[in-house]
Amino acid sequence: MRASLRLDEQEKGQRSSTVIQEVKYNKNANNRSKWNGGITLPQRMASACVGSVLTSLLVTPFDVVRIRLQQQEMLFPPGLKNADRCCRRIVFWEENNGDIMAGVRENSFCSKNSCVTESRLPNTMTGISKIAKNEGISALYRGIGLTLLMAIPSNVVYFSGYDILRTSSPLEKSHPILNPLLCGASARILAATSVAPMELIKTRLQAVPARQKNIRSFVILKMVLKNMWKDLRDKGPSSLFKGLQLTLWRDVPFSGIYWAAYESLTKWFKRTRLLSSERDDLSGSSPFNGTIFTRSFLSGSIAGITAALFTNPFDVGKTRFQVASEQDPKSFGTLSTLAKKGTTKASETLGRQPMFKFLFTIYKNEGLGALYVGIFPRCLKIAPSCAIMISTYEVSKQFFKKVDQGRLI
């Protein structure tokens, strides 16, 4: 009898301690879950850091190849597509003569522009191979430090902003598709604007082709920063946000489409019970929930590819705009002459065209395919990065909730 009474007392004590833990958690979690999904800002930063490191290590090579593919249409006139020599529009790095530049040779297509010996990248895999062979493996990871430096604060702002807007929006229940679309787009505006100067540095850093393997990324970074400092002196702080308009045109619709597709896919998986479980939330003591991870991974990758297909033209425009040199209107005199001869690209007549006019000029001169250059490496980058980031984020939320409740073993 005494033994059974002791067991009953122990069970009651365990139950009461569990209830106390839940009450303490719920007391603090009511406000937290309302504003940020039930986890604190430091916990969110840790989640973003893990996802950012994983995605950056995996997808940075595809990002480098994407930028090289998108910018090479600025470097090759139509008549020289099958030739080794090319005539370039003045891209930003050509203002800096030094060891970074390849050997300069002029031809009949050039007057003021530099000409270098370089071959086109026909596709993603060939691009990875050629860059690794000619510039070294490290060239495929150029800008990874900036990528990580950008990704952590950007993702904290992005995911926190999305959670806050989504849970406090009056459209949450009445418009299940429109609500995540609007909230995702709004959160992306905040995130993209906050890291725009670093995004410009990263794009330029990854765009510059080195002529030999022993050219260190530090040398190229120094040249990029020198050029940006010159632009800052000449044109003011607005030069640090060059391409932000196109970045927002790319990222804001992308985020809206992504979150609308992600939420719809997640609900569909739950509704059809393909990837659904009664133990989705906080039950159990395991720190890892395979169902949540798999569902988030698949939904994130499919939603990311869908959004990428709709927004790639803006990505092409952003890359060309950010890589192009800031020149005085007089420097486009040669380009105007070449345009009359039909030997210039749309990007060569960029000037200060409005965004849609700029994209239409690319379409008119180069065809619809030019607006989808780099779509394959972009999808190779976006699918795993979206999948890893959102699945890590969702699993981390569950993990930290269990830590706060004391439910882990």
The rounded average pLDDT for each run of 10 residues, N- to C-terminus, in the chain (409 residues) is: 52 50 46 53 71 81 86 59 46 50 38 46 85 85 82 81 86 88 93 90 79 66 86 88 85 93 91 64 56 88 94 88 57 34 43 75 89 90 88 80 65
Alpha-carbon distance values, 269 to 181, 258, 292 (Å) = 19, 16, 11
Cβ neighbours of residue 248 under 8 Å, at least 6 residues apart? 188, 189, 192, 193
Contact between 87 and 113 under an 8 Å Cβ cutoff? The reply is yes
Looking at the DSSP bridge assignments, the partners of residue 117 are 85
Q: How far apart are CA 209 and CA 261, in angstroms?
A: 37
Q: For residue 32, what pLDDT is reported? A: 47
Contact between 148 and 45 under an 8 Å Cβ cutoff? The reply is no
Q: Where are the alpha helices (DSSP H) in 101-216?
A: 124-135, 144-168, 178-194, 196-207
Q: For residue 379, what pLDDT is reported? A: 92
Q: For residue 20, what pLDDT is reported? A: 46
Encoding tokens for residue 284?
């159990």
DSSP conformational letter for 116 = E
Q: How far apart are CA 304 and CA 292, in angstroms?
A: 18
Residues 254-266 as b/e (b if ≥16 CB within 10 A, e otherwise) read bbbbbbbbbbebb
- The closest of 243, 50, 244, 249 to 156, measured between CA atoms, is 50
Question: How far, in whole angstroms, is CA 19 from its chain's centroid?
Answer: 43
Helix (H) or strand (E) holding 237: none
Beta pairing, strands 115-117 & 85-87: antiparallel
SS3 85: strand
- The closest of 239, 236, 204 to 222, measured between CA atoms, is 204
Q: For residue 226, what pLDDT is reported? A: 87
- As a whole number of Å, the CA-based R_g of the chain is 26
- The closest of 359, 401, 392 to 55, measured between CA atoms, is 392
Q: For residue 13, what pLDDT is reported? A: 53
Contact between 90 and 213 under an 8 Å Cβ cutoff? The reply is no
Q: Which CATH superfamily is domain 39-405 in?
A: Mitochondrial carrier domain (1.50.40.10)
Contact between 204 and 92 under an 8 Å Cβ cutoff? The reply is yes
Q: How far apart are CA 144 and CA 318, in angstroms?
A: 19
Q: How far apart are CA 318 and CA 141, in angstroms?
A: 20
Q: For residue 261, what pLDDT is reported? A: 94
Q: For residue 407, what pLDDT is reported? A: 58
Helix (H) or strand (E) holding 394: helix 375-405
